[in-house]
Each structure stands twice: as structure tokens, then as C-alpha cells.
A and B are shown apart, each in its own frame.
Chain A
Amino acid sequence: MALLEVDNLQTHFRTPDGGVNRAVDGLSFSVEAGETVAIVGESGCGKSVTSMSILRLIPEPPGKIAGQIRFNGKNLLEMSDREMRAIRGNEISMIFQEPMTSLNPVLSIGNQIGEALVLHQGLSKREAEAKAVEMLTLVGIPAPDKRVKEYPHQLSGGMRQRVMIAIALACNPKLLIADEPTTALDVTIQAQILDLMRDLKHRVGAAIVLITHDLGVVAEVAERVIVMYAGRKVEEAPVGELFNNPKHPYTKGLLGAVPKLGSSLTGESTRLAEIPGLVPSLKNKIQGCVFAGRCPEATELCREINPALELKAPRHQAACHYATKEAVAA
């Protein structure tokens, strides 16, 4: 049994004018213990909504979640609010994009790290602070016994993100959801944080769901990748397989649209591959394949029948009628 099993997740929102936005529409995936899975996609593809749905942070209304999200075999969507609170920040924790706004400006760093420990593990205040110092050491903050008494505004952006990670890891979670953890950071700071995340993965052993739009980050830290488009999963594969042998035209398009560092040395730069057109509106039901409107190879079939996710190679799923199928052990 996998640690996290998301089964036919649908998260829809009521729009102000009375319509329905089908932000996530039938997403299934699983995460094994200790594994790092990346969910990639462009803005509006539903990747952040997915992470919020797992933690049940979607306000209802205007949102509504259907399907099943099983964590250790128990469906999170059927839990009471109290049971859910016991899981949030304890067994499942989250790192957000904006380290500036995700920390409470009037609480000291130590307080914020210790909060979950006092709440979930019944530690005393003093024990919690000792543990907070330990966590700050773990995430590589210099002079942790001093920093623990400081406030968020006294820290730089990179330091704040380290504190966010310390808070997330304080209770030894089994699953860590990181929503664009490095997007707001500069390149050199991003490198520090990615380095830290790789390092901690070995030391802490938590499974990570990494939500990002940056294929470079995916290649650096993920083991398995899920590509989302317009609220659905269009491809899933181990990271090497996905980058070397993409099956879905959208994934191919994404990979072709990113220039690679060192391009000028291998010859004159060529044009970037464009994906023409725009993401379809999620307010209407989409007939056929969600990508058909922008796909260079779309046919009448694609516009009529929505392709099912199929195994196209070992551990490699794609939702495309025309993706080549390699021998798959049944």
C-alpha cells in the first residue's frame, strides 16, 4: 500500500457568476513512502489546487472536493476536522512559495517551530525550544540558539525558507508537500535550498510531493514526475524516462520550449519550440483531449474522444491516442 493514494480527485469551484471551474478533474496518483514525486505544469493546470486539496485547505464553498485521498489507507476526505488537524503539520506538512507571508511576523522563530511540537507531540515549551534549535541546526542556519529568539523580519529570504522547512519537518512528517518552494528565491539561494532538500531527503526520509513549473528543479530533485495540463494528468514517468523519452505532445512541447544552459557552446542557438495557442477555459466541459486545441498532431479522433491514461512503457503512463506504445509487461 502506498503512503498517499489520490483516486479520481475532483476539485471544482463555483465561480462568482454561477458557473463551475473544474480546476482538478479526475486526478489519480500515488506516492510511496520516502519517494519524491514532482507535479509539473503551467499556471492554472491545477497543481497547487491538488496540494491544497490533499491537506483539505480548499474553502468549501466555493470549492468542492470529490474522489478519494487515502493517506496510510485512510480517506482524508471522510475525516472530521479534528482528525484532519491532527494530521496537518504533523504527518503531512507543507512548504509554501512565499517565505515572507507564510511566517507569522509577531511570533519568534522558535515559537513557530515549536508550535506544532507542543500541539501534536505534547512537548513542554522548553523541550519544544530545544527541539527548535535542533531543527534550525538541521536546516543549516548558523548560530541557531540565537536565531531561535529572532523574528521573521530579521531573516533574509533564503533563511526564511530554511525556517519554513524546519517548521515543516519539526514533527517528522511522513509526507512533505512543497508548493513552488524555490520560485521566489534567487538562483544562488535556490541552489542552497535544493541542496538542502536533497540532503534532508536522505536524512529525514519523508516522502515529498514537489509542485513546480520549473523543469530544471524537477530534474534535480524528483524521482517520478506527473505532468498536469488543464486539471488532468497527461503523463507520468520516472524522471529520466520522462526527460529522455516523453510520450505526450504537451510534455514534448514543454521540454522543447526551455532553452538549455550551454546552448551557445554546442552550436548556434536555434529557435525555441512554441506551443501555439492558449490553455482552454476550465469553465466548460472539454470534449475530447484537453490538449487537442494546441497539439500539432491532433486529429478528428482527438477532438472527439478523450484519451485514457495508458501504460505506454514500463511505469510510463500517457494520455494520448497517438503516443507510441512500447512492449509493456502485462
Chain B
Amino acid sequence: MPTFEISLADLEKLIGRHLPRGSQLAELLSYAKAEIESEEGDIATINVEDSNRPDLLCVEGLARQLRGALEIEIGLKNYSVHPSEYKVIVNGKLENIRGFIACAVVKEVKLSDDLIKQLMQMQEKLDATHGRGRKKTSIGLYNLDGIKWPLKYTLTKPHENAFVPLGFSDAMAPHEILKNHPKGQEYGNILKNLEEYPIFIDSANKVLSLPPIVNSNDLGQINENSENILVEVTGTDYNAINNILRLFVMSLADRGGKIFSVKIDYPYRKTDTTPNFDTKRMTLHPQKVNDCLGLKLDAVDMMKILKKMRFGAGQNLDAVSNNVLADVPAYRIDVMHAVDIYEDIAIGYGFHKFVSEPIALPTTGSLSPAEKVSRKFREICIGLGAQEIMSFDLTNKDNLFKLMGTKEEKVVELENPMAFTFSCLRNKLLPSVMEFLSKNTKKEFPQKVFEVGDVVYPDSKKDEMSVTEQRLCFAISHSDVTFTEGGQCLDAIFSNLGIKIAVKEAEHESFIAGRCAAIYAGKERIGIIGEIHPQILKNLGLEMPVVAFEIRL
């Protein structure tokens, strides 16, 4: 979950009220699905438990929600957008590259050092989370004064349109930026395979930015003296870029900024005017809300709660129905279905006020067939004096084959392992059990251990191209251990289960020739038993003989 830092004093200023601390503050923050992860003086690290509520990832957003919770300001928050002549012309070739742009101008913003830090933090968080590392959306902020309108969102050859990138003093061509600028190195792969890169320039051909990599050091730099700001978002998802723009603009407006629209001229879709704060109306049936939440709220209660949660709420007075109409603010991109509003009603009602309702399940419980089998085997193994162990399903080919002296077999390998140690799924248990023994050579003997666990092996006839299978591996190690002792344990297991098995001499590289047998239940081969070959023991650093068997359950 995303975390970010805020100043509690700043939050109080935005809310317009002194806030309690400790558990009362925690309860209040829960209305915004937020919690304080750590606190140092006035600075609190906030964690928002909802990756689908980017509007809450900034102090202004928290204040917006909490003003409602505290009933200082309820209902929809209105943001008025002043019309303007600002215009961005989009190059038609961008359609399938990075086809969407949304812009807004915010004037009369009073930027402090702290506020700039806040904005940068918000930009970073949104780029990283909802922007999917700037791939889906990326944000740019510019100093409006100095920009010559209209602007062009167009394409550039990698070696043309050199400009001074943010934080540098010399002009660099886009391909140099990708190679040498830290942001170019971080995000360059988004543009990697393109012949031409998106570029944002003004009508004097001054570069604003190279989206989604870096702004220019000239127009693309804001400081405490910047009062008028251009906000731009580019990306590959129309809804996403519009929402990100909206969030940014709302934060600036909450700080006293005045919003002006920008016209976006697309050759491949109809002309757009951004930002927009259009609300969406949804109809709620009070009975359905109550059925879902297990509450007995009437329409009036619901409307009150909705307003507290910053929705617009009302009823169609002419209609006979008791339905509640909820106006969903534009920034609530998480609202896809009425149930999303049900949850807001639950939060607004107060989670702490919910009284739980016991369920008496009318169903009959049961363990799965595999679990029942597993339990029988495990019980006998324990009766035989063996210690149960549990190991990882992930392992590597060295453990599975090289150390066990066997030929490599096909296994399910990972495309993106974190480390070689865990790079494929095991297709047998014996290597895990042998590894366990190898970690305990200095511990007391005799050692008798077993594991019931899953193995996975490829099978192209199955939907998942593999089979997950439950197995048992049993191993005994001490100075006098013999094949007979292993055989006795194997026999004890199956005779107690009333299953007839037969063993037939077999060859296997992990076992001593002539001391290894395949195990059959009827005609089906279900496992193998034997004395581990001394070379395998040596591979694993074991100095005690081991007898082991592995069977399919």
C-alpha cells in the first residue's frame, strides 16, 4: 500500500480545525481508509489502505474526506473551471504511441517550499502507482509565464530538439537524455523501441518536456515564485490521465488556485476540454443497501451519510420509489458499481458501530479426500517414530538432479526467479528430505524423518500443463541402518492401511545398485525405496548411511 508524508499542522490548517491525537485521530483517519504508520514531531507517514483511491494520496485529499467526516463541509465539493483560449495541438502519429494528453492551468497559487515538496511527492506517488511507473500516465508541471501558446504535443527524432533537462546545465538531445540523465535511465525503457519520441513544445519551439521522461530546466521548473502553473498528464489510458489531472488540479485549487481549462485538439478523436469535474449519478435501492450491509437505514440516513462521505445525495421527489440518488464526484474512479457506494455508507455509518451477526452454517464440514489420505499416512509415520518436516516447494535443479546424481528431468521452471536457490518447483520430495538431513549432520542420531508434501511435474495433457501431486518421503539415518529397516517401515505403513504392495528390484542413480526397489500397488508403480548411494551422501556432506523411500499418495 502506498505511503506518504504529511505535516499534521498542514492537515489541520486545510481542515480548519484542531485534531485530536492518538486513538481518536486513528478512528477519524479510518473514514479516509488511512492510518498513521509512524510519526516524528509534526511529520506523519500516512498509509492509505486502498490502492484504488489515488485521491487520498495527498494531504489535500485527506482533508477533503475528513472535512466531510467531521461534518465541517459535506456533500459534493465544487470546483469551477474558467474557460480560456489555451490550446494543445496533438500530432496524429501519437495515437498508438502515447495517445492521450490532458492539461489544466491553475493561477494564483501560493507555492511554498513545503507545498512544492508535497506536489513532488504526490507526482511521484501517482506516477509510480496508478501511472504504472509512468508507463500508463505521467505528470508534468510547468511555469505558465514564459510559455507561448498554443502548445504542440508531437514527436521528435531522438537526436533532434536538444534541450536542457531538469537539474542539468547543458542541452542534450533526447537520445542522450535516455542514456545519461538519471530519469532517462530510470524510465527510458518506455521509449526504447520507438523511432520517434513524444515531445511537448510551445509555439516558439521551446521544449516543455520529453514525456514521460523529464521536463526542461527552463519552462518545466516550478519554484516559490511560480504563481501560475500548467499541469499536463500524458499516457495510454484516457480515463486514467484525466483522473490524474483532476487530482492534481483539485489539490492546487484546495490551496486557493483558480482553474482554467485547456482545449486539446486531436486529429484522431473529438476535441476535448480538460479538466472536467463531471459527476456521475447512481441510483441506490435502500433495501439492497440494507440487505448487503445488514443494517436498517432509511433513505434519509443514507443521504446524510453519503453527504458526509462527500457524495451528492438526493431523491427524485416525483417518483413513488424510495430510491436514493448519489452523485459520485469525478475523482472517485473506484466507483464502478453501486456496491462501491455501499462500502462508503458502511464507512460513513462507522465500522466501529457495526454489530456482528453470528452465522450458524447449515452445511456439513469435511476434509478434502487428499487431506484424509495424507492424515492416515502421517499418523503411521509418526507411530513409527519419525519426525515430520516441512520444506519449500520451490528449489533448484542442482538440488533436484546434480546432487542426487540423476539425469536432469523436465520440471516447471520460473521465468523470473529472485534467486537460483528458488528457481523451479520440485518434482520429487527425496531431494528436500536429503537436504534436510544434510543440515543436521552434527545433531543427534538416529534421525528418522518424513514429509508429506506437493510435487509438480509437467504434463501437456492438463489444462495447467502440469500436475500437482501429493507424496510422502520417509528417511532413516544412523550408523547401522539397513535396507531391511526401511522396508519394515514401508511395509508397516501399507499393511496398516490394508493396501497390498509389492517391491521389485530396480535401478536408480541415487541408490546403491542391488539395494533399490520400485514399489508397486497392483500394476501401478507408486514409488521407490533404497539405500542412498555413498557418492550422493558425499555430495551432500553426509557421513551416516541413509535408507529412504518416496511414494505417491
Bound together: no
Please list the residues of chain B having a beta carbon within 8 angstroms of any beta carbon in chain A: none
